[in-house]
């Protein structure tokens, strides 16, 4: 409408000078932050010290090992926790402390010690690492893990040889898979149908919340 506006705050979009002014502003703004990091001991000989941060309200409760969830879900919990510990902990000592805390938390949730060790070794195996972690090789192995993309392992399903059986969830469903496979092997062990692999799944209970709430 023939009116001109004068920008009184910030830099003009697309102006080459705006980037320089922004860099100068951030230089002065970040000096106090860098000073605080140095005073807090996080900057050790020009190396930034990092570790896994836990909220003050953090409690060591995870999916219990004796739950009815699939085994691959229970495997992914310690696997992801150990992978995060290696990526976030910049020193070998910080990693050992975090790994010990994770082990205690998993043991409290009924995870067997051998199961925990197997998932930790799976992290190294996924990254093609055959050496054990030590204070001498930790930084080298950590860099390899950080820059290594771990692809999700996909197990193909043969739908012609797999039969999915779904049951509505109930309190005693924990013992259902064992009983089902026992009966299956008892009556179909010598039958041609024994070549079919039965997979048991669960359905949610038809409760009021499911009737009233509809996901998009």
CA pair distance 148, 130, nearest whole angstrom: 15
Residue 153 is classified by DSSP as: P
Q: Which long-range contacts (CB under 8 A, 24 or more apart) does 169-176 make?
A: 169/202, 169/203, 169/204, 169/205, 173/68, 173/202, 174/66, 174/68, 176/200
pLDDT of 10: 77
Nearest Cα to 123, choosing from 92, 87, 94, 73?
Answer: 87
Nearest Cα to 103, choosing from 88, 82, 83?
Answer: 82
Burial of 106 (0-12, 13-18, 19+ CB in 10 A): buried
Confirm if 26 and 33 have CB atoms less than 8 A apart: no
Biggest distance spanned by C-alpha atoms of the chain: 91
- The rounded Cα 11 to chain-centroid distance in angstroms is 41
pLDDT of 151: 63
Confirm if 162 and 199 have CB atoms less than 8 A apart: yes
Block means of pLDDT (10 residues each) for the chain, length 216 residues?
80 82 88 72 75 89 87 92 93 94 95 94 88 90 84 68 79 78 85 80 70 65
For 204, the 3-state DSSP assignment is coil
The total of other beta-carbon atoms located within 10 Å of residue 11's CB is 14
Instruction: From residue 19, give the alpha-carbon distance in Å to each of 8, 39, 212.
Output: 17, 30, 52
**Model confidence, pTM:** 0.58
CA pair distance 87, 31, nearest whole angstrom: 27
pLDDT of 127: 83
């Amino acid at each position: 409408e023939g009116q001109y506006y004068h920008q009184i705050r910030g830099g003009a979009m697309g102006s080459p000078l705006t980037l320089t002014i922004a860099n100068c502003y951030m230089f002065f703004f970040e000096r106090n932050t860098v000073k605080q990091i140095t005073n807090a001991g996080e900057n050790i000989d020009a190396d930034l010290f990092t570790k896994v941060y836990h909220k003050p309200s953090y409690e060591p409760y995870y999916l219990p090992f004796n739950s009815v969830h699939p085994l691959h879900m229970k495997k992914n919990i310690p696997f992801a926790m150990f992978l995060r510990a290696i990526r976030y902990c910049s020193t070998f000592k910080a990693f050992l402390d975090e790994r010990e805390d994770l082990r205690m938390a998993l043991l409290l949730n009924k995870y067997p010690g051998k199961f925990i060790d197997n998932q930790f070794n799976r992290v190294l195996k996924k990254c093609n690492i055959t050496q054990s972690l030590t204070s001498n090789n930790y930084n080298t192995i950590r860099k390899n893990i950080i820059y290594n993309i771990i692809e999700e392992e996909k197990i193909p399903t043969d739908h012609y040889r797999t039969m999915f059986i779904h049951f509505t969830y109930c309190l005693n469903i924990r013992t259902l898979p064992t009983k089902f496979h026992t009966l299956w092997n008892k009556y179909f062990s010598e039958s041609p149908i024994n070549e079919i692999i039965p997979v048991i799944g669960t359905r949610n209970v038809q409760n009021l919340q499911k009737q009233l709430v509809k996901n998009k």
